[in-house]
Amino acid sequence: MSAQVIGTPGEVPSWSAREEGSRMEKRHRRATSHVSADDRRMGRRQGISFLLGFLLFLGCFGVYFASQTDYVQKSWLYPYPYRETVEHYARTYGVDSSLAAGVIHAESRFKSDAQSHRGAVGLMQLMPDTAEWIAGQVDNDYHCSLAKLQEPDTNIRYGIWYLASLQREFDGNDILALAAYNAGRGNVQEWMTQYGWQQDFNSVESIPYAETREYVTRVLKYQQKYKTLYAPHSEGFLSASAK
């Protein structure tokens, strides 16, 4: 069977062949154009992502750097309203004022109208029945109204006196005193008996209550912050006589 000759070398392609070739070339150009456009879009996306990531890094670095300045820390992170009152009663009752400030920061963040769901009131989050007992010890008056307890001066005075009494009870051990401030002196005495803790106890992680462990850790951290930021007036006053 003889083969049909389609064309010979040098023969001019027919119109249909030229059209088909033109269409194929256009499809090739379109495909190449789409790939190039996709590459350009991908490149732009990568460039924008890199730029945003770089700006985010700069922003985070700037925030971190700003947060380390004394001005930001004093104004926003560790403010110290009622400082004179805190330092006055810290001197009066023989408590490190930085420790007292740390307790207030942990308890209420210096909000005088703070009230917990358990009923604790004021800057140092005193329970009303505890406040009445303190009033009897300090003022020889076992009545303490809620309005009086919310007064910053009264709340700070009673709270620092109570902290001082816990320090005396636990021989100046701040960890035990803070644990008792949070969980109650009865629980701390029970733990000391149950686990054989001595007055030199210093293992915060051994405190059974997670809330109390976290509380003690936070207050000790805040104490150091207030001591560093407000160093000129925040040295300990343990030599003062306690009432």
Q: Annotated catalytic sites, by residue?
A: 107
SS3 label, residue 142: coil
Rounded distance between C-alpha atoms, residue 216 and residue 37, angstroms: 61
Nearest to 201, CA basis, from 170, 180, 222: 170
Nearest to 222, CA basis, from 187, 174, 189: 174
Rounded distance between C-alpha atoms, residue 219 and residue 226, angstroms: 10
Say if CB 170 and CB 198 are below 8 A apart. no
Rounded distance between C-alpha atoms, residue 56 and residue 141, angstroms: 59
Give residue for tokens 């009303």: 128
